[in-house]
Chain A
């Protein structure tokens, strides 16, 4: 007991420092975690989250019977898989090319510019996309009609183009960020390995194949696993704001996040919305834990825990 008092006398200021963060996390993160039980209740605004009557799994039963349930999970997973594969290939390729360029100034400039899209919000991105895709005066339609004489495309009402558009925008926005991660790894590769390869008579392509790529292997695996851990999540702005909430596109733009938002704010369907949200949280939790466990086995320094 006396020991405890002595310890507290010494350490209380340090515990006090935790306080703002502890309070904030409690409100911002922990209360909503408990509030997740709303998915098992029939929400009644007058009675609040903890007073609404329990209804067991009814919300989930209703959700599963809708066509939305399948569409949003399919879209979330497929888009993420394509984003991960193409994003990784593009970033690795760009990082390798950048690392082979000799002119230091040029290198720096390329890197700086390619990161710019990472810095802007999805709202801005949606305006940029609209400048290209606007049906009446967008750049693409203008060019198609005037230069090639092809009929204008009503982009925001034509679902079949959107998987490509969203993938391109995602690549455009994320390339700089991902490239930097791989580029940093390349800079960390032991230069004697390259010298040894030159002594062995390796050409540039062989050096990339036998030194650079093996050097990038663990970073690629780790970042991919981390991304797989988040495969049930999606960027709300990309799937809601960029397609401008256009009804005809919903089949190819609905993800779990947009469904939850629409249920909550537009269709007043809190039951199914919270059921979808809970599903996302629980599966997401399992995926993150799994991904991290595997990462730890490969490289314990890179795992989250």
Chain B
């Protein structure tokens, strides 16, 4: 029996290791290409084992190219401001929803909930943001459309409040004379740190990874976040390729970053996530499990 189990364990582990390799291979290819000498990359292509190492791409990004440092700054700024505002709005909406004694809370619950069922879609939203709010090429374009509040997160947090914060605790604080706002920030918030961390990471991830708002609303390169920058570089390459196919090439190749620099840029786009991920991994897994089963 034990012998049999050892055989199974070997096979099971081998299968998982195979999966892990499949998951990691693209990242390894990316990392190795970013560390390959440009000439060697052009001659030999993307390779897991570079023929000739070079850290030129990173030196170029850090020293010569201002747009990357700037993109990082924009990304960090958007992520920080966005995550903070989102969490604030989410907590403030979730807390009264969790108060069973509040008259009319079902109206607010439905108001929130209906936005998960029906959506106006891209066209009306785009027309509104650009023509009513003139959001194009402003910092708000990266921050506000679609990202400032997620009904899923509000419901997740509401559920946490109802199940983990006893009514008696809130009642006791009120008897002590605390105002509702004081209760939220000094009583409820400290008890809700795990769920705030989980939702905070998911929201931050959403902001850090967002490039769609950049695609719709931004063409001023001073507002390119790192993801938007990557997206715009690829669009320029697409255009170049299409023009080459039509035989009307007039995009200057030299203006586009070289292959290794693009790969280094990709590494930079993932790096902060990979640094934070191990610390929040447990929260994240828990959050995914609660979130999916009970929206």
| Chain B nearest CB, measured from A120 CB (Å) | 6
| Chain A nearest CB, measured from B92 CB (Å) | 4
> Does A67 belong to the interface (CB within 8 Å)?
no
| Chain B nearest CB, measured from A7 CB (Å) | 6
A117-158 CB contacts (< 8 Å) to partner B: 117, 119-124, 126-129, 131-132, 134, 136-139, 141-142, 156
- Secondary structure type dominating chain A contacts: helix
Is B89 a contact partner of A264 (Cβ separation < 8 A)?
no
For B119, give its contact among A33, A102, A241 (CB under 8 Å). A33
State in angstroms the CA–CA spacing of A98 and B15 once bound together: 10
B167 contacts which chain A residues (CB < 8 A)? none
State in angstroms the CA–CA spacing of A69 and B276 once bound together: 43
| Chain A nearest CB, measured from B80 CB (Å) | 18
B288 contacts which chain A residues (CB < 8 A)? 177, 180-181
| Chain B nearest CB, measured from A299 CB (Å) | 10
| Chain A nearest CB, measured from B83 CB (Å) | 15
Most B CB atoms within 10 A — which of A45, A280, A304? A304
> Does A164 belong to the interface (CB within 8 Å)?
no
B41: nearest chain-A partner, CB-CB? A137
> Does A213 belong to the interface (CB within 8 Å)?
no
> Does A247 belong to the interface (CB within 8 Å)?
yes
Taken residue by residue from 110 to 143, chain B's Cβ proximity to chain A (1 for < 8 Å, 0 otherwise) reads as 0111011111111111111001110000000000
**Given A25-B149, A28-B149, A302-B293, do A281 and B112 touch, yes or no (CB 8 Å)?**
no
> Does A64 belong to the interface (CB within 8 Å)?
no
> Does A238 belong to the interface (CB within 8 Å)?
no
B42 contacts which chain A residues (CB < 8 A)? 137
- Please choose the segment from A15-23, A78-86, A189-197 that sits at the chain B interface, where 4 or more of its residues have CB less than 8 A away: A15-23
**Given A123-B234, A274-B124, do A101 and B16 touch, yes or no (CB 8 Å)?**
yes
> Does A100 belong to the interface (CB within 8 Å)?
yes
**Given A32-B124, A94-B19, A97-B15, do A244 and B154 touch, yes or no (CB 8 Å)?**
no
> Does A184 belong to the interface (CB within 8 Å)?
yes
B24: nearest chain-A partner, CB-CB? A113
Is A121 a contact partner of B269 (Cβ separation < 8 A)?
yes
**Given A25-B112, A114-B19, A126-B234, do A265 and B120 touch, yes or no (CB 8 Å)?**
no
Is A32 a contact partner of B119 (Cβ separation < 8 A)?
yes
> Does A261 belong to the interface (CB within 8 Å)?
yes
> Does A285 belong to the interface (CB within 8 Å)?
yes
> Does A267 belong to the interface (CB within 8 Å)?
no
Is B102 a contact partner of A137 (Cβ separation < 8 A)?
no
For B121, give its contact among A31, A136, A278 (CB under 8 Å). A278
> Does B211 belong to the interface (CB within 8 Å)?
yes
A100: nearest chain-B partner, CB-CB? B12
Taken residue by residue from 259 to 284, chain A's Cβ proximity to chain B (1 for < 8 Å, 0 otherwise) reads as 01100110000100110011011001
| Chain A nearest CB, measured from B138 CB (Å) | 15
State in angstroms the CA–CA spacing of A138 and B8 once bound together: 37
| Chain B nearest CB, measured from A261 CB (Å) | 7
A15 contacts which chain B residues (CB < 8 A)? 96
Is B295 a contact partner of A120 (Cβ separation < 8 A)?
no
> Does A55 belong to the interface (CB within 8 Å)?
no
A127 contacts which chain B residues (CB < 8 A)? 30, 230, 234, 262-263, 266
State in angstroms the CA–CA spacing of A91 and B23 once bound together: 14
B45 contacts which chain A residues (CB < 8 A)? 134, 136-139, 141-142
State in angstroms the CA–CA spacing of A98 and B181 once bound together: 45
**For this complex, into which size category does the number of interface residues on chain B fall?**
35 or more
State in angstroms the CA–CA spacing of A22 and B117 once bound together: 17
A94-115 CB contacts (< 8 Å) to partner B: 94, 97-98, 100-103, 106, 109-115
Is B23 a contact partner of A101 (Cβ separation < 8 A)?
no
A223: nearest chain-B partner, CB-CB? B292
A35 contacts which chain B residues (CB < 8 A)? 120, 123-125, 127-128
> Does B256 belong to the interface (CB within 8 Å)?
no
| Chain B nearest CB, measured from A88 CB (Å) | 13
B33: nearest chain-A partner, CB-CB? A131
Is B16 a contact partner of A131 (Cβ separation < 8 A)?
no
Given contacts A129-B26, A134-B45, 7 further A-B contacts (CB under 8 A): A13-B180, A21-B90, A35-B125, A35-B127, A113-B20, A121-B210, A288-B117
23 A–B contact pairs at CB < 8 A? A17-B93, A20-B92, A27-B133, A28-B125, A28-B146, A29-B119, A33-B120, A35-B123, A45-B131, A106-B13, A119-B209, A121-B210, A123-B230, A131-B33, A137-B44, A175-B19, A180-B289, A244-B234, A244-B238, A273-B123, A280-B121, A304-B116, A304-B295
Chain A interface (Cβ < 8 Å from any Cβ of B): 7, 11, 13-15, 17-18, 20-22, 24-25, 27-36, 38-39, 45, 48-49, 94, 97-98, 100-103, 106, 109-117, 119-124, 126-129, 131-132, 134, 136-139, 141-142, 156, 172, 175-177, 180-181, 184, 204, 219, 222-223, 236-237, 241, 244-247, 257, 260-261, 264-265, 270, 273-274, 277-278, 280-281, 284-285, 288-289, 301-302, 304-305
4 interchain residue pairs of minimum CB distance: A32-B120, A35-B124, A137-B45, A277-B121
